[in-house]
Chain A
Amino acid sequence: MTILYQKTSSQYTPSFVTREALLVKLFLNKYIFDKKTYILILISFLPLLTTGNLRFPDFGDYIDLIGPSSIFSFIIMPLITLVLGVSAIADEKENKTISQLLSRPVTREEIVIAKWITIMLIGLVIVIIDSLILYFGFILFVPESIGLLEHLLELVRVWFYLGLWFSVYATIFLFLGVWIDKNAFGLGLAIAYFEAFFSQFLFGNLTGNSPFSISNHINYVASEYLLPNYLNFIISDFDPFTSLLICIGLILGFLFLGCFLMRKKDFP
């Protein structure tokens, strides 16, 4: 038998960036062929059903469709973040493909980071498509509401808003997917709705918008830095920059926890 490659082949060590890029490329393939990705895009048509009630529609109404207390924020965003976040590592565990990854020359932390980068990319693409579907839906179904090129800059700001939202929640759910072997999706759903409803209404009714709600901090940041002309969201006695730091802290903190847990975990 001829050996085309030499024994020394095992000495080759790609750089960290190359390893991450190769893993991200491998994971991205999954989402392209996964039905869930397309379902997450299709559900964004849902808020358009409510546009029939608008009397003098403008771009503000478009923001209302995706902003706080909207169908988008209560149904679509939790679903997108849950499906992509929880399933990131949980799917690999369930399908046993984690075994294939663990037997390669990459650390467990690198697998989590590559998964995180992948879901950030795919999540951002999905929320951009979803926001565009709504945008063009507005143009088509609500005549004279917004012009085609009129609010492009605001649209980019919307992407930052949704991107921040996705990053925070999806990272928390990715951690859940690493931590819990079964029913991570159910627990994630409970957390998402507890967070969205209870922490807002339970703590917020007495004191205004509650600082105990993550979505409140995201809305506060968006209201202050991204869409100040369209959103008016305040957490009393709280600095918006602190809210931004909380969001970034949550992303980095849960990513670190995900990596830490992955390192300690058994994959029987």
Chain B
Amino acid sequence: MIELEEISKSFGDVVAISNLSMNVKKGSITGFLGPNGAGKSTTLKLIVGEIYPNAGTVTVLGENPMNNPGLKRKMGYVSEHEDIYPWMKGHQFVSSLARLLLPRERAEAATKEAMDKVGLAITGKRIRAYSKGMKQRLKIAAAIIHNPDLLVLDEPVGGLDPLGRREMKELMSELNKEGVTILISSHILYELDEISSRMILIHRGQSLAEGAPADILALIDQFPHQILIQAPKDQLSLLSKFLIDESILKSLNFGETDDKLTAITNEPSKFYPIFTRIVAENNITVHHLESTTDNIEAIFEFLT
């Protein structure tokens, strides 16, 4: 479906990708993982034809993706940026882009269905008034409106709360069952293990490991994992109680301010699904959840 052969890409003196080869199999959900600055976004931009490689070849659905409108009809892309027009209304944004892909009579129905799928209601609200999570959902709606064969997503769950993340992952699984091949990136190691059928790890512009999630996670699990959680004080106490009950933590450290705590676990692959379940079931408000960057980088350093 996607094949990258010995790709290199530099921006001035900065080498973003170096001799990277990888492939994404048809019908799979491939998790593309790496710390910030590893070259994930650059790789995805090469795949969707936004940038040219300095060396190597990129083949998507058997074609060169550069300036290839025919190929764009078969793929959807959600970038990491807020690449939406804030003055437009949500459904207007999706339907305007849909008209480039669908005839007028079908564009409106498809807009409604795509927005339903991502859990957005059609309102008169302009995009500038949307929350980060709603904007993210809107971008996904715009990317899936034409029922693409391939969906490329760059950190798509970044702005979503735990419940939103779970819904989005369910959506990815549903789309995959409908036959959509999905390549999805994240800098959070345990974000994608539930839904991915394959995982690719990238670090410093080079492919580090590629394979089944269980194998990749077994490799990563050798390293203690640190997660920063930010929530209102009362919610944080409740959350820590439930987390301790689950016996998946090595330690739990409250931060300098009373709205932050750091959880350390040796079972990160179990932690995230349990965490999401606790938050959803007990309606706990979480402002921020982050796998501490230093720790991720340390894991990748550990793997190299």
Contact = CB atoms under 8 A, between A and B. Distances in A.
A7 B146 CA distance: 8
Interface in B88-120: 88, 96-97, 99-103, 106, 109-110, 113, 117
A263 B52 CA distance: 10
A26 B93 CA distance: 9
Contacts of B268: none
A95 B127 CA distance: 14
A13 B71 CA distance: 12
Contacts of A26: 85, 96-97
A267 B50 contact: yes
Interface string B39-61: 00010010011111000000000
A11 B71 CA distance: 10
Interface centre among A30, A104, A108 (most CB of B within 10 A): A104
A7 B51 contact: no
Contact of A9 (B50, B96, B99, B146): B146
A212 B104 CA distance: 49
A189 B172 CA distance: 48
A5 B103 CA distance: 11
B102 A9 contact: yes
A25 B83 contact: no
Contacts of B124: none
Interface residues of B, number: 46
Contacts of B117: 1
Contacts, number: 116
Interface residues of A, number: 39
Given A22-B100, A29-B88, A268-B51, A11 B82 contact: no
A25 B76 CA distance: 22
Nearest to A110: B69
A104 B83 CA distance: 13
Interface in A1-33: 1, 3-7, 9-14, 19, 22-23, 25-26, 29-30, 33
Contact of A96 (B52, B79, B149): B79
B174 interface: yes
B74 interface: yes
A268 B45 contact: yes
B67 interface: yes
A14 B73 CA distance: 11
B216 interface: no
A107 B85 contact: no
Interface centre among A23, A33, A34, A103 (most CB of B within 10 A): A103
26 contacts: A1-B174, A5-B102, A5-B106, A5-B109, A5-B113, A5-B147, A7-B147, A9-B102, A9-B106, A10-B146, A10-B149, A12-B73, A23-B100, A30-B87, A96-B81, A97-B83, A97-B85, A99-B79, A100-B83, A102-B49, A102-B50, A103-B48, A267-B50, A268-B11, A268-B45, A268-B50
Given A100-B79, A102-B48, A266-B52, 12 more contacts: A5-B147, A12-B103, A13-B73, A14-B103, A105-B70, A108-B67, A264-B52, A266-B50, A267-B50, A268-B11, A268-B42, A268-B45
Closest 3 CB pairs of A and B: A33-B87, A96-B81, A105-B69
